[in-house]
C-alpha cells in the first residue's frame, strides 16, 4: 500500500488541478510528453495494484473486497485512457474515481482490524 499505491495515487492526484497564488489561479497539468508518460505510469500502477489486492494472500473476502479492487482497476484504466488522450479534465475526474475506490475499501476494512493486512 504505502510503497506502491500511495506514491502512484499521490502522483496522479498531484498531476492536475488548480492552485491559487498571489498572481491568480494557476493551472497544474502535465505539459510535456514525459510528464504525460509519468501520469500514465501511475495510472497503470494503480490498475495493477487492484489486481494485486485480489491475490489470495491479501484478499479478505470474495465479495466487497473484490468489488473495491475491481473499482480500483476500472479507475486506473480510465485514468490511463485519459492520460493517453491528453485529457486534463479526464485525469482529474478519474483521480476522483480512484480516490473513491481507495476510501471505500478503507472505510469498510481498515477500521475492523488494522493489523490484518500488511504491505
Ligand atoms: C480492496 C481494499 C483496498 C483498496 C482498494 C485500497 N486499500 Fe489501502 N488499505 C486497505 C486496508 C485493509 C488497509 C489497512 C490495513 C493495513 O495495511 O494496516 C489499507 C491501508 C493503506 C495505507 C496505510 C499504510 C499501509 O501500508 O498499511 C495506505 C497508505 C493505503 N492503504 C493507501 C491506499 C491507496 C492510495 C489506495 C488507492 C489507490 C488504496 N489504499 C486502496 C485496503 C485497501
Ligand 1 center to residue 103 CA distance, Å? Answer: 8
Q: Does ligand 1 lie within 6 Å of residue 98's CB atom? A: yes
Cβ neighbours of residue 9 closer than 8 Å, sequence gap 6 or more: 42, 46, 98, 99, 102
Cα–Cα distances (Å) from 96 to 36, 52, 54, 91, in that order, read: 18, 21, 22, 9
User: What's the pLDDT score for residue 102?
Assistant: 95
- Top mutation candidate among 2, 71, 106 for ligand 1, by most atoms within 8 Å of CB: 106
Local mean pLDDT, 10-residue blocks, the chain (119 residues): 87 90 87 96 96 91 96 97 96 96 93 55
Q: Give me the residue label for grid cell 480516490.
A: 99
User: What's the pLDDT score for residue 119?
Assistant: 43
Whose Cα sits closest to atom 2 in ligand 1? 105
Q: Give me the residue label for grid cell 498572481.
A: 23
Amino acid at each position: 500500500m504505502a510503497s506502491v499505491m500511495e506514491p502512484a495515487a499521490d502522483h496522479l492526484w498531484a498531476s492536475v488541478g488548480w492552485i491559487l497564488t498571489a498572481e491568480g489561479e494557476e493551472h497544474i497539468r502535465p505539459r510535456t510528453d514525459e510528464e504525460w508518460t509519468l501520469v500514465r505510469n501511475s495510472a497503470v500502477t494503480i490498475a495493477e495494484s487492484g489486481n494485486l489486492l485480489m491475490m489470495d494472500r491479501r484478499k479478505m473476502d470474495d465479495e466487497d473486497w473484490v468489488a473495491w479492487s475491481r473499482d480500483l482497476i476500472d479507475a486506473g484504466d480510465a485514468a490511463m485512457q485519459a492520460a493517453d488522450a491528453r485529457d486534463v479534465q479526464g485525469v482529474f475526474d478519474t483521480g476522483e474515481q480512484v480516490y473513491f475506490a481507495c476510501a471505500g475499501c478503507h472505510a469498510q476494512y481498515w477500521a475492523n482490524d488494522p493489523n490484518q493486512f500488511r504491505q
